[in-house]
Amino acid sequence: MIPYGHQWIDDDDVDAVVRVLKSDWLTTGPCVAEFEQALCSYTGAKNAIAVNSATSALDIAVQSLDLPRGSEIITTPFTFAATANSILFNGHIPVFADIQRETRNIDPESIRSKITKKTRAIMYVDYAGQPCDIEEIRAIADEYNLLLIEDAAHALGASYRNKKVGTFADITVFSFHPVKPITTAEGGAALTDNPVLAERMRLLRSHGIKKEISPQANSGKAWEYDMVMLGRNYRITDLQAALGISQMTKIDTFISKRNELASYYHKHLKDIPFLELPTTTPGVHHGWHLYTLLVTGIERDSFFDYLREQEIGVNVHYIPTYRFSYYKDHLPTEVTGYPVTEDVFSRIITLPLYPGINSQMTDFVIEKIRAYG
């Protein structure tokens, strides 16, 4: 089976991890700080907090905002479950906005229609690695005094108006799961220019425990520490951070390769009448984490089954979050009225795309698609 996504690991990645295995630090050590510095230099962000997954990063991002319980956070339903889950973890209410068909990104007009007195933040996702209409979302946030979290799990290496993703929102989150733009096996990071949010997220990564405590509270004893926030253990290991540092040296190569592959698919699929190809918005440098098609006039599920029978690991990204049983059982009101999300969900299919795919594989995928029907 050709998977829809796969990591790229070189010998220098392996060597970097082995060096740490033979060092004094297995978990938090010098590589974590160095990896965070690499993320900051690459994106231009002032602070990066590396953790054990993007799910953890989203959780501490929401917690660090310190919103009153029951606040509403507007988000997209067309994403992985972890996006809205991070809102629920913190006792808040995810309010879903509809998406735009061409990009599958959250629709700023729909965001506006969902704002209430309880809205405190917007959590948007750069679907497939294509940055959202960030200027428009920022304008809404400024108008209504809302905070922004960018779930950029797909979008490390992507740019908006010639600026790398990482500094647009109050907090930006990346994922380093094997199918994502770079990998640390499991891993994620939260980036922010805000020193208060950075300090809170650093504490929340490790139990909310503070070693440097105020002179009043300090007994003068060397063993003294305090716990000032309710944190968990979300630490990333030095082994993973070493892999991350090594992968960061290849990020631009990975993104170029993904762009080449997307162009290749486009060139060879554009005349097929039953396909609507993905588009790139002007002013955006796409990360191409996912290459998704919309089918028209054919059954998506029959097409999907046919491609799977050919050992092509197509996928559906995503089942809208509000369709999950847990959400149906736990949201205060019934969730309906997402015509674009429902239409896209019924017609979408993800093709294999990752840096290690070769032309025999892409040609095989194209040939089987052309032979359909």
Ligand X SMILES: *Cc1c(COP(=O)(O)O)cnc(C)c1O
> Should residue 104 be labelled a site residue for ligand X when binding is judged by CB under 6 A?
no
Count interface residues toward ligand X (CB under 6 A): 14
Could you say which of 16, 153, 241, 248 contacts ligand X (CB under 6 A)? 153
> Should residue 50 be labelled a site residue for ligand X when binding is judged by CB under 6 A?
no
CB of 343 to ligand X, least distance (A): 20
CA dihedral sign of residues 119, 165, 62, 321: positive
> Should residue 87 be labelled a site residue for ligand X when binding is judged by CB under 6 A?
no
> Should residue 154 be labelled a site residue for ligand X when binding is judged by CB under 6 A?
yes
Could you say which of 53, 172, 183, 240 contacts ligand X (CB under 6 A)? 53
> Should residue 55 be labelled a site residue for ligand X when binding is judged by CB under 6 A?
yes
Report the C-alpha gap between 327 and 352 in whole angstroms. Answer: 29
Q: Which of residues 171-230 bind ligand X (CB under 6 A)?
A: 175, 177, 188
Residue 215 CA, chain-centre distance (Å), reads: 40
Listed in sequence order, the residues at least 6 apart from 278 whose beta carbon sits closer than 8 Å to its beta carbon are: 102, 128, 262, 291, 292, 293
Q: Where are the beta strands (DSSP E) in the chain?
A: 47-51, 72-75, 93-96, 119-125, 147-151, 159-160, 163-164, 171-175, 188-192, 209-210, 226-227, 275-276, 284-285, 291-295, 348-351
Given the complex with ligand X, which of 153 and 204 has the nearer CB atom? 153
> Should residue 82 be labelled a site residue for ligand X when binding is judged by CB under 6 A?
yes
The tokens describing 33, both together, are 């700080």
> Should residue 96 be labelled a site residue for ligand X when binding is judged by CB under 6 A?
no
Contact yes or no for 96/123 (Cβ under 8 A):
no
Could you say which of 74, 125, 156, 239 contacts ligand X (CB under 6 A)? 125
Given the complex with ligand X, which of 177 and 200 has the nearer CB atom? 177
> Should residue 285 be labelled a site residue for ligand X when binding is judged by CB under 6 A?
no
> Should residue 83 be labelled a site residue for ligand X when binding is judged by CB under 6 A?
yes
Report the C-alpha gap between 209 and 227 in whole angstroms. Answer: 4
Listed in sequence order, the residues at least 6 apart from 217 whose beta carbon sits closer than 8 Å to its beta carbon are: 226
> Should residue 155 be labelled a site residue for ligand X when binding is judged by CB under 6 A?
no
> Should residue 365 be labelled a site residue for ligand X when binding is judged by CB under 6 A?
no
Is the bond preceding residue 318 a cis peptide, omega within 30 degrees? yes
Looking at 74-82, 194-202, 214-222, 326-334, which segment touches ligand X (CB under 6 A)?
Answer: 74-82
Looking at 6-14, 49-57, 103-111, 329-337, which segment touches ligand X (CB under 6 A)?
Answer: 49-57
Residues that bind ligand X (CB under 6 A): 53-55, 79-80, 82-83, 125, 151, 153-154, 175, 177, 188
